[in-house]
Structure 1
Amino acid sequence: MDHLYPLPGNIPVNHFLALPRPDHGLAAAGTPDTSTLAAHDFDVDTRTGFMPPRPLARLPEEWQLWERALDDARSSRLQLGDKLSLAPEDAATSERWRDQVRQLPILPTDNLRRSEVLLRRAHHVLAWIMHFYIHSLPEYVNEIRIPPPVTLPLLQVSAQLQLPPVLTYSDDVINNWEFIAPPASAFPPRPPALDNLRCQTLFTETRDEEEFYLASARIELRGVEALTLMRAMMDEAFLGDATAIRRITTYLHTLAGVIRELTTILADVRKGCDPDVFYNVIRPWFRGADSDGTRKWVFEGLALDPALREPTELSGPSAGQSSLIHALDIFLGVDRYSHANFMAGKDRDGPTPMARAQSAPAGPALAATPATPAPTATFSSAPGSSTVSFLDRMQSYMPRHHRAFLRHLSSNPRPLRTLVETSGDSGLLEAYNAAVSALKVFRDEHVRIVALYILVPSKKARDASGKAREEGAAKGTGGTDAFQFVKGVRDQTADALLKPGQ
């Protein structure tokens, strides 16, 4: 798993990221045999897990017009277009910036395709520009028209990455951090210190927004030990003898301790992010089309590239897109319980950063063609079923290498839960339940924060304004009741606990 993220021009020719980008079966029917793939093929790092050891900070000169447009949006301190007390001068500043975006040339993306790192940075920059553009528009604009200088390159880059052309968890968290104090070596051998992180890009330039994203980043980094433990347990399960059972028992107790630390990090979001600031000032910026009221998003200029199609997945970022929590659910065999009854009602985000990540599918069939700008995921939650859980759908918003990792994990021929059920070892059963219980407690905290960050401020907004736009304000950005969603997932996680003799 020794893949690194050097600057694009310094990637060795035989480096994983410099090779033709495999789709790991994601663009073809059927389930690929990934059992022989090295871990680095899944873009998982020993020090930072699903996070890159050092995200690219800026694109090369060829695409600096995009970087400068994003810089200008941030330095201009653009305001939300539906802000109740929006000053005329702020509205004028926003319109000047949007006009500059409309006047940009349509930059070619061909040279971005040589590097996955470049593509990821391009998706980050263009998606942030698009959200600045959309959410700074006046509230009376009923049809949002995204100009061709943003539409074409964003959809082309998204097609290459097999991601939707909208802000994702990867854009807000995974590829949105840097060191406060850079380490002495280019790529330190240990995970970064959790207090040595800051964000690259913000909408509001507030500490609240930065702490919101960094809470997720810290959970991802602390979760690296969980990935290490999972790998060790899979190796032991391959042997399955008495020694292996004892080791797995110890590893599970350690895993439970790691998950408890993730809960503490999650709870600490309260220290840096005020609920009212989150709800009223931060959250509106990363709404996707699913939660933008009745306003339709129109991508202009599609006819200029016949390979592009109208996007169908535009839900925006959610920590439900975090591969770490999905991986924990799959590994523990909790996924069949934790989101069984939540179908494709397009619920998007709870208020917490990482904790919105709820669970993972047992291995749905994913299909996306490289020519599709917003890859449509085809899921099957049951034979002959056309429904899909919200959490299954979120896999189409993950980096495709991470989707491949989850597929690989879900196809494990020696599942941990089956081993626990068949071993008859009471110590192993107790250790397994300790890990599941820790995951349930993690979701207890999530439920509390949803109430604090969504339910309470939404009620305040409704009572204060009485406006129709506050109707349904307590819902997730995908339209489903956020509190009921996370509460249901929490309750069903508890159902995964095993009873003696079960």
Structure 2
Amino acid sequence: MTNLLFFLTYSYLRHRNPEARPSLVSSPMADFSTIPPDHFLALSRLDGLLGSSESTYDTSTLAAHDFDVDNRTGFMPPQAPPSRLPSEWEAWELVLDGAIAEGLQLGDKPGLSEVEMGRSESWRKRVRELPVLPISALVRSETNLRRAHLVLAWTMHFYIHSLPPDVPVVIPSPITIPLFQICTQLQLPPVLTYADTVLYNWTLKTPSHKPTPALDNLQSQTLFTGTNDEQEFYLTSARMELRGVEALELMRATMDEAFVGDDLAMRRITTYLEKLATVIDDLKTLIATVREGCDPTAFYTAIRPWFRGADSDPAKRKWEFEGLESDPSWAYPSELSGPSAGQSSLIHALDMFLGVDEFSHSAALTGSSAAQTKKSAFLVRMQLYMPRHHRNFLNHLAANPRPLREIVTGAGDAKLLGAYNAAVGALKRFRDYHITIVTSYIIQPARRAAALRAKGEGEATAASEGAEAPLKGTGGTELAKFLKAVRDRTAAAIIES
């Protein structure tokens, strides 16, 4: 494909008219409640291209031309995702409804009653008795495929994590077969992802025709615990995604100016980078708001365990997918990590745009053990869990022929250098505070659980909290070491004057 219109429209206009200025104001939408008929989400789609070359752009929908990045909602869809599949797949919706209505409990919860265990097993029996529903009609709709992945992945996590910890994990074929078929179409792994918990898991509290959802008008569609703590955890990320829309527009405008590269362009890039530093600082402010609605102990003990993928199973059980053998093209997933903020394309985009990624996400930072050093770099691993068009967006940023960092180092412009360093500094401050949040919500609770275990007290509680050594995030990294290394290398990306 040629250079893509999303980034180059204004570059072309500047080339034709040097005084033209790219607008940083999102285009208005006449009716936010209805997607235009020519929008890619409203169109039928072709079959997925799982296994296709990463160097080939996906053209299965019109999202390929704009990377499914909306100028009002960024990586989130331009209107609330569907909350229900069509009637042909109502059986899936009903079993998920049942898990929520029954208030299923974690299978390793201390003091779990016989009644609670019986209720969980009755629900799992319903899942095993489901028919294997075909998805041939489902693949015509991108939004329905996303909803189907969400429903089946949430159902699978309810199924697995409500099991007693000494029971093998066998995912029944009524979940395995359609989930793998859907994953082939969407090029996503068969596990709960950030997209399932944040990007495609929201709706509006009050109907609105505003082009961008108000940050205080969001609510989650699906929850494991039904608690406000869990909802606020997801919505904190959703609000950050929406605030990040301006950052994406500033990136686009900067790349337009870099295409021209004259003195006027350098002055404009300086202004855009100064604004970008402010947006990143706002993201830091937003991540801090999680403390207002989500209690750290509730998150660690009652919410986070539902996220665990096979890579984080405290009993180290292998997930067996019943029916996997029914299609020779399916292979057992090489890794299954749970949802993680590391799967957000927004922060990765900031790293790539600023040229920080080569400092902050090197392969050496994926862990210290020999096995871990053989893994791909963190960014590449997390891309496997991102919607495929967002992966292409990051690939496009990485392939930018005029990287921002090279422009800054080669310009000899003190103001431009200062603005660039201010943006990198803001990203470093964001990571400083992210470490503070992770310490409060994961590291400190894990240490308390380990201390209980060491004293020989509360052994069941310590086991249920899944205290691990070394402690890992749901994305599979050795958490404290990784986050501090990323923060330090972000700071190292500041260019000396």
TM-score, normalization by structure 1: 0.85
Structure 1 equivalent of residue 87 of structure 2: 61
Structure 2 equivalent of residue 167 of structure 1: 192
* Equivalent position SS for 2:137: helix
Q: Say whether 1:233 aligns with 2:254.
A: yes
Structure 1 equivalent of residue 11 of structure 2: none
Q: Say whether 1:432 aligns with 2:420.
A: yes
* Equivalent position SS for 2:495: coil
* Equivalent position SS for 2:320: strand
- The question of whether the paired residues in 2 share the 8 Å contact of 1:119 and 1:157 is answered with yes
Structure 1 equivalent of residue 121 of structure 2: 95
Structure 2 equivalent of residue 472 of structure 1: 469
Change (3 A) 1:88 1:209: same
Shift of 1:22: 8.5
Shift of 1:48: 0.3
Q: Distance in 1 between matches of 2:124 and 2:58?
A: 47
Q: Distance in 1 between matches of 2:335 and 2:299?
A: 24
Amino acid across the alignment from 1:154? L
Amino acid across the alignment from 2:201? N
- The question of whether the paired residues in 1 share the 8 Å contact of 2:366 and 2:482 is answered with no
Q: Say whether 1:408 aligns with 2:396.
A: yes
Q: Distance in 1 between matches of 2:181 and 2:64?
A: 28
Select which of 303, 316, 336 maps to 1:282: 303
Shift of 1:484: 1.2
Counterparts of residues 66-465 of structure 1 (less than 5 Å): 66-141=92-167, 143-183=168-208, 185=209, 188-189=210-211, 191-293=212-314, 294-345=316-367, 387-465=375-453
Shift of 1:414: 1.2
Amino acid across the alignment from 1:425? D
Select which of 465, 480, 484 maps to 2:481: 484
Q: Distance in 2 between matches of 1:117 and 1:319?
A: 22
Q: Distance in 1 between matches of 2:389 and 2:274?
A: 29
Change (3 A) 1:423 1:52: same
Q: Distance in 2 between matches of 1:110 and 1:62?
A: 11
- The question of whether the paired residues in 1 share the 8 Å contact of 2:74 and 2:241 is answered with yes
- The question of whether the paired residues in 2 share the 8 Å contact of 1:323 and 1:406 is answered with yes
Instruction: In structure 1, list runs of 5 or more residues that go unmatched.
Output: 348-384
Change (3 A) 1:24 1:146: closer
* Equivalent position SS for 2:170: strand
Structure 2 equivalent of residue 371 of structure 1: none
- The question of whether the paired residues in 2 share the 8 Å contact of 1:343 and 1:388 is answered with no
Q: Distance in 2 between matches of 1:99 and 1:163?
A: 27
Q: Distance in 2 between matches of 1:15 and 1:60?
A: 19
Amino acid across the alignment from 1:202? L
Amino acid across the alignment from 1:57? S
Q: Distance in 2 between matches of 1:205 and 1:88?
A: 22
Q: Per-residue CA shift, 1:123-159, capped at 9, x if unaligned?
A: 0000000000000001221x20000010101111011
- The question of whether the paired residues in 2 share the 8 Å contact of 1:346 and 1:390 is answered with no
- The question of whether the paired residues in 1 share the 8 Å contact of 2:428 and 2:491 is answered with yes
RMSD of aligned Cα (Å): 2.7
Change (3 A) 1:306 1:38: closer
Amino acid across the alignment from 1:497? I
Shift of 1:473: 7.2
Change (3 A) 1:22 1:329: farther
Shift of 1:387: 4.3
Structure 2 equivalent of residue 50 of structure 1: 75
Shift of 1:463: 2.2
Shift of 1:169: 0.4
Q: Distance in 1 between matches of 2:28 and 2:40?
A: 8
Q: Distance in 1 between matches of 2:237 and 2:132?
A: 34
Shift of 1:316: 1.4
Q: Distance in 1 between matches of 2:35 and 2:447?
A: 52
Identity of aligned pairs, percent?
Answer: 58
- The question of whether the paired residues in 2 share the 8 Å contact of 1:13 and 1:19 is answered with no
Q: Distance in 2 between matches of 1:10 and 1:39?
A: 17
Shift of 1:85: 1.3
Q: Distance in 2 between matches of 1:248 and 1:230?
A: 9
Shift of 1:221: 0.3
* Equivalent position SS for 2:319: strand
Higher alpha-carbon deviation: 9-18 or 300-309: 9-18
Q: Distance in 2 between matches of 1:489 and 1:96?
A: 45
- The question of whether the paired residues in 1 share the 8 Å contact of 2:204 and 2:219 is answered with yes
Amino acid across the alignment from 1:285? W
TM-score, normalization by structure 2: 0.86
Structure 2 equivalent of residue 41 of structure 1: 66
- The question of whether the paired residues in 2 share the 8 Å contact of 1:167 and 1:286 is answered with yes
Shift of 1:475: 2.4
Change (3 A) 1:68 1:22: closer
Q: Per-residue CA shift, 1:253-296, capped at 9, x if unaligned?
A: 00000000000000111111111111100000010000103111
Q: Distance in 2 between matches of 1:3 and 1:166?
A: 36
Shift of 1:11: 7.3
Amino acid across the alignment from 1:178? T
Amino acid across the alignment from 1:412? N
Q: Distance in 2 between matches of 1:475 and 1:29?
A: 28
Shift of 1:194: 0.5
Q: Distance in 2 between matches of 1:334 and 1:244?
A: 22
Shift of 1:459: 1.5
Amino acid across the alignment from 1:72? G
Q: Distance in 2 between matches of 1:242 and 1:174?
A: 39
Q: Distance in 2 between matches of 1:478 and 1:80?
A: 20
Structure 2 equivalent of residue 365 of structure 1: none
